[in-house]
Amino acid sequence: MNIPPAILSINGSDPTGEVGIGVDIHTITSLGGRALVAVTSVTAQTEAAMHSVHDLPPQLVADQIQAALHSGRPMAVKVGMLRDPQSIAMLPQYLRMLPHRVMVLSVTDSRGYKLLSPQAIDSWMEHLLPLASLLIVRVCDAEMMLGRTISTDMDMLDAATELMSLGAGAVMLRGGHIQEGHLTALLMHGDGHRFFSSQNVMGWQRHGVFGALSSAIATRYAIGDNTVQAVANAHAYIHSRVVYAVSGTSASPLLRPADIYNAFLSLLAGNYTLEHDVSFYAARLCVSPRYLRCVTDKTVGRSPKQVISDYILHEACSMLHGTRLTIQEISRHLGFSSQAQFARFFAKEKGCSPLSYRLGLSLSE
């Protein structure tokens, strides 16, 4: 008889069951795990607003964790809402020996309610970031922590690198609007990085999706996935079951095209500096260029070539505006064989030269 792996969730409560401990238990059990819990805060909230939060005493949090560990050794832990600096500081002594530790650092919630004090943030960075097998942070929270804007994929890579330097084994940045109409996540780990992207921005921003994703990742760790597998499998699960609300064997007619399109965007985010050819992406997706065109036409009303061009143009404009790189350096980064080729592409798509665009931005500021 297979014994379900135990996953410990250390998180706040929610009376609606849409976030916190409630969604963690649901996600863990849905994926075949056994949920152990320790409640850190009691909240009164609805989907529209956080009304009040009461943090439980550190000793009570510690007693819950000890009881959970005594009832069965967890193969993974997910740490969510933890606001008291003393509770944060005592956590490593209980969790250090667990195989996989998913730390979800949320400075604010999805509605903008501030969850962590400066002292709590400092305690997280000192005690929990070095403990994290995977640190998950939203882009807006990373901007507050690092004191800078994150608006391009290079910004995401730089921010993830800095967060990893604080001791985390891997970092996942979520919620980057790198391309208009798309929501992008970046996973950085010891062997490289991978982008995940979806055009269903509203679905991924639904209240509770962030928490469900992190508990799904912790469960996939406990099942036996490595970091990349855990994130990819959890991302696919949440995308299908939560973002597009597909359950059992029923499926939306748009699910398959949407899945292929999102995989196309993720491939594009990871390869656009090297490959601009539609056939490359079609081959990686195991579909024909013609079928890929059908998918993109159906999903966003544009051809694959237009999707690629839009992505490159958006990144080019962001770099011309937000970096000191020369136009030649930008053209090289974007995968063009020469500055002249980049200039022709930019003029065709934007109606002006890269230099004129940059000068126009300077004059308007």
**Does residue 258 fall inside a structural domain?**
yes
Whole-model pTM: value is 0.73
Q: What is the pLDDT of residues 293-314, one digit of tens each?
A: 998 888 778 899 998 998 898 8
Q: Are 170 and 227 in contact (CB under 8 A)?
A: yes
> Which pLDDT belongs to residue 247?
36
Q: What pLDDT is attached to residue 251?
A: 43
DSSP secondary structure code for residue 38 in this structure: E
Comparing 166-175, 280-289, 319-328, 355-364, which segment has the lowest mean pLDDT?
355-364
Residues 6+ apart with CB under 8 A from 252: 244, 246, 258
Q: What is the mean pLDDT of residues 343-361?
A: 89
Instruction: Provide the domain limits for residue 324.
Output: 252-365
R_g of the chain computed on alpha carbons? 22
200: in domain: yes
Please check whether residue 28 is in contact with residue 35, taking contact to mean a CB–CB distance below 8 angstroms.
Answer: yes
Q: In this structure, are 227 and 353 located in the same domain?
A: no
Ranked by mean pLDDT, which of 19-23, 57-61, 271-275 comes out on top?
57-61
Domain of 336: which CATH number? 1.10.10.60
234 and 158 inside one domain:
yes
* Residue 44 backbone dihedrals phi, psi, to 5 degrees: -120, 105
How confident is the model over 41-97, as pLDDT tens digits? 888 776 666 678 899 999 999 999 999 998 878 999 999 999 999 999 999 999 999
What does the DSSP 8-state code read for residue 241? I
| Overall domain count for the chain | 2
Q: Of the residues 193, 215, 243, which one is the last residue of a structural domain?
A: 243
Q: Which amino acid is at 79?
A: V
Percentage of the chain modeled with pLDDT above 70: 85
Cα 365 to Cα 359: distance, rounded to the nearest angstrom: 10
Both 14 and 161 in a single domain?
yes
Residues 6+ apart with CB under 8 A from 341: 331
Distance, CA of 325 to CA of 318 (rounded, Å): 11
pLDDT in tens, 88-101: 999 999 999 999 99
Domain boundary among 195, 210, 243: 243
Considering the domain architecture, whether residues 310 and 355 belong to the same structural domain is answered as: yes
Within a domain: 215: yes
Classify residue 1: in a domain, yes or no: no
Cβ–Cβ under 8 Å, residues 312 and 272 = yes
Residue 60 lies in a domain: yes
